[in-house]
Structure 1
Amino acid sequence: MRHSTLSEHKFNKGEFITQLNSLPLTEFEDVKTWSYGRMPEYLWIGLILKYYGRENGMIKCNFIMNELHRLAPKLSTPRISEMLKLDSNIQRQFYSFVINMGCKDVLAPLTVFITVSKYPAFAEMFYCKDQNIEDRCKTLLDVMEDILDQHSNEAIDIRFIVLYFCVLSGKMKIQKVQADILNLYPISNHDAEIMRMARPLVSSSEMMILAMENVNSQFINDFWRILSKMTDCDLIAMRFPEENRNIVLYMEYLHEIFLYLSDLYITTDPLNEKMKVLLGIATYSYKRLKEIYDHQMFNSISGRSCVRVLIEDYIMMKYLLKNESSHQDIWREYQMYGMGSYKLVLKRLLESESLFDNHFDQQYIEGLVNEYRDEEFLNMDTKYFDKQNIRLKAADVEEKELYGLYYDYDSSFEHGLWGAIRESSFLKCMNPAHKYHCVPDVENQNRLKSVLPDCIMIMNKTLIILNKLYAIPDQLFNGVINFEVEPITK
């Protein structure tokens, strides 16, 4: 199935809506979905196909379905929960036929959850003492792994057999042209040309059976509850290559550049508000990068926070420069806006009744707030600086792509949104009986992809701005701009 492009989504009131969600469709409840509700019912068919292979399995299933229809003509679908409700004599006749077809050992794993206390006929006839619980569970999990995806070859084969039985029972009518296509299904390979029509026909037709099926929620819920408890998690971690590239020379050049710029500021124009702001923002970016470098956190959540800050700082520098002429003193305004935000936090702290020791130092922050202007003359603006958020600022300075590709992604980590939580803080369980759930990564086994190339790319963009304004010495500037990030060695 081809996934839709961003342009194919409908944008409405700040939300990108998929084409399918734009249609008046009702989502299936869990017990009617394939992976949760229908797959457990037809797992027995999957066991036969898995054991005998597709060709022989299809032949055996054909005989079995015909016999089931003969013994229970009112049965509309081959759901195992419906078969277990049949008269015990009919059940035993049918199970004897299945066993004679050579399927006793094949279906024995089902006795893990189809137990003698609830379903004596099935459990007694299919129990094999040679199969221990671990072996039976493993067999079930192997098949489930193949068929949980309703579009897998194995799942489509099962759905074809279900459809065949439903047509056989007379509960579903199909047109001759459809019958001609379906007749070719069991004797055609999945990569055959006819399957381009047959597979979608099987999928859509099998879905229509839901309208006439009796859903046994209790059986389905018991299946998942029992099998999930009897099997262990099979956890895997996502471990991207550890960042081990040598960037000592890059960081040394970077340090020399900021020493040069700092000395330039002190010796040539220490009262220049524009230079102070630009160097302040750039130095903050440098310090964030140096923290990540010093503690080797390029593969970490904090590394993504660093990329986000570097991008926002870079966009803000470009925005201030572009809009300098339209403000009386944008550099002073920018500083007062930031200190106003500090003042707001300070006032909230002073009026709080739950003062305690924290990382917000009252005396120091109060000194900063009053450093250049008495706070009584300092307003607190709760809107975005210059009344534009970072997205609008990025568009204004023609960095919309940088914002869209990086900033939104890294902001998910900064704000603890679920995408970032799922990527960084969960291990994947590969046990299909656990429905491939996730487990908290308490031991920090996941390793995220390195942000080193991104950090260097954005830092270099920042230095290009500073070089145009303050002419960084060529040796230093070229040392960072031309620095090549080698591939990670494993």
Structure 2
Amino acid sequence: MDRSSSLSQHKFIKGKFITPFNNSLMMELGKENSWFHGRLPEYIWLALILRYYGRVEGLLKCRSVLQILRKAVPNFYSPKLSRILALECITQQRIYTDFNKYVDVASLSALTVIFTHSQYPTFATAFLTSLSPEERIEKINDVIAETSDHKSELATDIRFLVLYFHLLSGKFHMQKETLELLLEYPTLSHKDEKMRMIRPMVRAMEIATPDEIDPINEQYLFTFWDGVSRMSDCNLFYIDMGSDSPDTKEYMKYAKAQLQYYTELFQAACPLDNKMLVLLGIATYSYKRICEVVEHNLFNTIAGRSVVRVLIENYIMMKYLIKHESEHEDIWIEYQYYGIGQYKLISERYRESKKDMPNSHVMYDYMDALVGEYKNKEFIDMDTSYFDKMNVREKAINVGEKELFGLYYDYDSAFEHGLWGAIRESSLIKCNTPSHQYHCVPDIENNQKLKSIWFDCMEAMNNILKVLNNVYGLPEHLLNKDIDNG
């Protein structure tokens, strides 16, 4: 089985994980060089012959026509259709006449729906049949679907034929042992044990064709994809990860009871304890975010992923503050005024802008009042760096939560920042039409539902509650071991 390279096999260079393949090339493979977009359209005529006759007979037929092509145009390095179509009409006529001695006109007739008589009269005249445009485009779509994966059996057969033509050109050389293996390819079934070694070799050698010898014809690629896509309708599908809303009552009651206990303890025993105020404030903020998920049914939404992200960040921050408490004069006060300083910066920007924004969701005057709640704002600095000079990832590593950060926080941050992976997963629906290159369509009907965040919310909130329990304890009757482990 062909396997993708693992993360550990990638090279980490200047903040970027480079794939083993791109690292060996020292460059990324462009779209025009890719199998599906750039090379398949050039060799689709071979795919149509193979599919028309079947693999065994098709390979023999293709080898015959490739020998004809090689004899007619000795300077060709590869059997690209764009190069054939660019030949003089008289040369094309001679080649197509010779082709038809070995392959039926019907085998290539589907391509006349793209390469029509108005622009490609020689090709269209040679291969036009009575097939309707719908039938022709269906044949092309079927072939594209079967060969879209560059490792598929049909795609690998095509790539073998391309290598075969390279050999005929006399410009492609290899070791004798490799050549002997390669020449066995058409005689072996794809299930033959030897093919486990030969198939990857074929793909690796075919992709290594240098552009300076065989340049890309971007106009041809545009003509092909534009022509075939215009004649096909989108076939949209989406994965609905949504399910019935989970039963949240028992958990919300459990979480609220613990926070109520800690709140009453704070009010009765230590109302001026800044440490408890900060830890309870973070935990309560986290609880209110979960309340929003439940009250507004955000389980399968983009907004819900923002909640998971902040719960994880809150948990990491609580652990970080507790771990480094002894290293600061009062880390709890520092944490409070770091956040208030951010509010001061925003309110000061508003004051200096002199704009009137009565309908803004930001209550600038109220923010200004909060800034000066306990201390004259003239004595409050505004720190624009990370709290304690560490970003969230560094704090996560510092408190032993690197895996939590890597598996959850980075993912949910993609939704928070509108990165393309998150946009693709949540807001675009896949088109299953091969001729549309499996493109995406905006999900303006909001059909795409994401997987529920509820169980991640519970786990993150449980971690936050455990931090409070470790610091302040909790009566036995408020513990629910099933939920704690859930």
What TM-score does the superposition give when structure 1 sets the normalisation length? 0.91
In the other structure, the counterpart of 1:470 is 472
SS at match of 1:439: strand
Q: Quick one: distance in 2 between partners of 1:363 and 1:76?
A: 73
Pair 404,84 (structure 1): closer, same or farther in 2 beyond 3 Å: closer
In the other structure, the counterpart of 1:398 is 400
Superposed displacement of residue 151, structure 1: 2.6
Identical residues among aligned pairs (%): 47
Q: Quick one: distance in 1 between partners of 2:367 and 2:432?
A: 50
Superposed displacement of residue 123, structure 1: 0.8
Q: Does 1:52 align with 2:53?
A: yes
AA aligned opposite 1:476 = L
Alignment of 1:250-329 (within 5 A): 250-329=251-330
SS at match of 1:428: strand
In the other structure, the counterpart of 1:146 is 146
Pair 68,5 (structure 1): closer, same or farther in 2 beyond 3 Å: closer
AA aligned opposite 2:124 = A
In the other structure, the counterpart of 1:435 is 437
Q: Quick one: distance in 1 between partners of 2:69 and 2:21?
A: 38
Q: Deviations over 1:147-178 (max 9, x none)?
A: 23333221110121222233334443444433
Q: Size of the alignment, in residue pairs?
A: 483
Kept in 2, the 8 Å contact 1:181–1:197? The answer is: no
Pair 216,466 (structure 1): closer, same or farther in 2 beyond 3 Å: closer
Pair 370,158 (structure 1): closer, same or farther in 2 beyond 3 Å: same
AA aligned opposite 1:433 = S
Kept in 2, the 8 Å contact 1:147–1:154? The answer is: yes
In the other structure, the counterpart of 2:250 is 249
SS at match of 2:361: coil
Mind listing any 5+ residue stretches in structure 1 that lack a counterpart?
Answer: 485-490
Alignment of 1:39-118 (within 5 A): 39-99=40-100, 101=102, 103-118=104-119
In the other structure, the counterpart of 2:346 is 345
Pair 11,173 (structure 1): closer, same or farther in 2 beyond 3 Å: closer
SS at match of 1:351: helix
Q: Quick one: distance in 1 between partners of 2:248 and 2:240?
A: 22
Kept in 2, the 8 Å contact 1:243–1:299? The answer is: no
Match of 1:383 among 373, 382, 385: 385
Bigger drift between 79-88 and 323-332 goes to 79-88
AA aligned opposite 2:198 = A
Q: Quick one: distance in 2 between partners of 1:255 and 1:121?
A: 78
Q: Quick one: distance in 2 between partners of 1:17 and 1:212?
A: 27
Kept in 2, the 8 Å contact 1:243–1:298? The answer is: no
Pair 385,167 (structure 1): closer, same or farther in 2 beyond 3 Å: closer
In the other structure, the counterpart of 1:487 is none
Q: Quick one: distance in 1 between partners of 2:133 and 2:364?
A: 64
Q: Quick one: distance in 1 between partners of 2:422 and 2:145?
A: 27
SS at match of 2:17: strand
SS at match of 1:354: coil
Q: Quick one: distance in 2 between partners of 1:64 and 1:4?
A: 37
SS at match of 2:183: helix
Bigger drift between 169-178 and 376-385 goes to 169-178
Q: Quick one: distance in 2 between partners of 1:214 and 1:471?
A: 71
AA aligned opposite 2:164 = Y
In the other structure, the counterpart of 1:420 is 422
Kept in 2, the 8 Å contact 1:243–1:450? The answer is: no
Bigger drift between 39-48 and 204-213 goes to 204-213
What TM-score does the superposition give when structure 2 sets the normalisation length? 0.91
Q: Quick one: distance in 2 between partners of 1:205 and 1:464?
A: 57
Pair 42,11 (structure 1): closer, same or farther in 2 beyond 3 Å: closer
Pair 313,179 (structure 1): closer, same or farther in 2 beyond 3 Å: closer
Bigger drift between 274-283 and 95-104 goes to 95-104
